[in-house]
Structure 1
Amino acid sequence: MTSLPGSAMIAADISENAYRNAEKFLSGLDPDWARHIAHIGPCRHASKPAREPYEALVRAIAYQQLHARAGDAILARMLALFGDTAFPTARQLLDTPADILRGCGFSASKIATIHGIAQAALDGTVPLRAEALAISDHALIERLTSLRGVGRWTVEMLLIYTLERSDILPADDFGVREGYRRLKNLEQTPTKKQIGDIGLAWSPYRTVAAWYLWRLPKNPAANGTV
């Protein structure tokens, strides 16, 4: 759950039991949520807790504004530069010339961001996972969005998938906002502020709520909501 800025916190409970509690809570909000959750079935959110925050941020930048296949290809070419290494260290990545990374498919802007993340990992601005687990959502967002090219959405994905936080609502995410529009059969997609305000009612399970909103079909009739 989200804690106050600067306070210590424990990694969120994302056990199967916690998912079931979240499903019951969200289903009890209104008939639209109940129908959608019944249609999709149990939450199968898949986190990546073994990754360090540095790696998670670099991977997120690789996929920014790209289709998954394009991101996969770029990342694969980058990883191939380092042989059998599962993922390059911050020093290895920082020492990789920009023209080599450009050959992998990274733009100049992304190269600058990736090098900045690597440097920030070396100087401690990007914390190790063990340290990050004790830092609040708010504090991590403020700390990491100070890096060039790292926005709030990128840090929220880190919080959701790497640090397994259970109460994160990525209000900037179009898929979340559009999913809610489809859930409620609205004419217009809610704004970031609107979905943030609406989503307060989904706490302390906003991560699971986002997971379900990402799974709204384009045709509401396919979900039995109209």
Structure 2
Amino acid sequence: MKRDRVMKKLIPQFGEARLQSRGDAFTTLARSIVGQQISVKAAQSVWEKFAAVVADAEHRIHPERVLGLDTPALRAVGLSVRKSEYLSDLARHFAQEQVHVGQWDAMDDEAIIEELVAIRGIGRWTAEMFLIFHLMRPNVLPLDDLGLLKGISVNYFSEEPVSRAEARELGEGWAPYRSVATWYLWRSLDPVPVNY
């Protein structure tokens, strides 16, 4: 707030709301795959059907249970063939310990992104959302996020289009809290807190 006139106005508007992590790593990434390129409402519907099939008695979702389902079973809950493949690949990476969940706290952001994008269906944007919403990394600037670019456009450039280079330059001033600034810019567009 001390360094940025826009943040000085935005932050007080949203009270005590904060970024919050929820779920475990596997579930968070599975939800992000389910929700790709469909509405929030449709994603929730598919997720509920998927969870009903794979969750254990405590409502936890384990990679091994996903691997126990074939493509037709995954399709039956509303997943496309491609998303079924992506979820199976995600489950395989976790079950075979090809992702180093226990080491993530000690790894830098780029190393985690590199590990995650090796999983089919997870691109840089999904990995950055995971860093922000699951690992609670404070200094992520997701330059591929349309909401971030729109928030910058609306709040800093009188709604003129903003390039990734301009966003990157502006974001330098928010370091080491670029995730936080991003979250407030999202909130400026939609007062409902963003969660993944």
TMscore range, shorter length: 0.7 to 0.9
Q: Give the ranges of 4+ consecutive aligned residues of structure 1 lying more than 6 Å apart after TM superposition.
A: none
Q: Which residue of structure 2 lines up, in the alignment, with residue 122 of structure 1?
A: 95
Matched, 1:62 2:34: yes
Question: CA offsets per residue over residues 41-81 of structure 1, 9 Å max, x none?
Answer: 34422222x51x22221111111122221111111101111
Change in Cα spacing, 1:209 to 1:47, as seen in structure 2 (3 Å) is: same
Aligned letter for 1:183? N
Please, which of 201, 212, 223 is the counterpart of residue 173 of structure 2?
201
- How far the C-alpha of 1:187 sits from its partner, in A, is 4.0
The answer to whether the 8 Å contact 2:64/2:91 transfers is yes
Match of 2:20 in 1: 46
Matches of residues 44-123 of structure 1 in structure 2 within 5 Å?
A: 44-48=18-22, 50-51=23-24, 53-82=25-54, 84-123=57-96
In structure 1, what is the equivalent of residue 187 of structure 2?
215
Q: 2:9: which partner in 1? A: 35
User: CA offset at residue 203 of structure 1?
Assistant: 0.5
Contact 2:154 / 2:160 at 8 angstroms: preserved in 1?
no
- Consecutive unaligned residues of structure 1, counting only runs of 5 or more, are 1-26, 219-226
Equivalent residues of 2:63, 2:92 under 8 A apart: yes
Opposite residue 135 of structure 1, the aligned amino acid is: M
Letter in 1 for 2:3: L
TM-score by length of 1: 0.77
Deviation, 1:164, is: 1.4
Q: 1:148 aligns with which of 100, 115, 120?
A: 120
What's the % identity of the aligned pairs? 30
- Residues 7-33 of structure 1, C-alpha deviation per residue, up to 9 Å, x if partnerless? xxxxxxxxxxxxxxxxxxxx2223322
* Aligned residues of 2:7 and 2:181 also touching (Cα < 8 A): no
Paired with 2:73 and 2:93, the residues of 1 have a C-alpha distance of 21
TM-score by length of 2: 0.88
Distance 2:85 2:36 in 1: 14
Q: Retained in 1: the 8 A contact 2:26–2:94?
A: yes
Q: Give structure 2 stretches of 5+ with no counterpart.
A: 191-196
Deviations 1:150-189 (A, max 9, x none): 1011111111121111111111111111011111143433
Q: RMSD over aligned Cα, in angstroms?
A: 1.8
Number of equivalent positions: 189
Structure ranking higher on relative contact order (CA contacts 8 Å, 6+ apart) = 1
Distance of aligned partners of 1:191 and 1:104 in 2 relative to their CA distance in 1, 3 Å threshold? farther
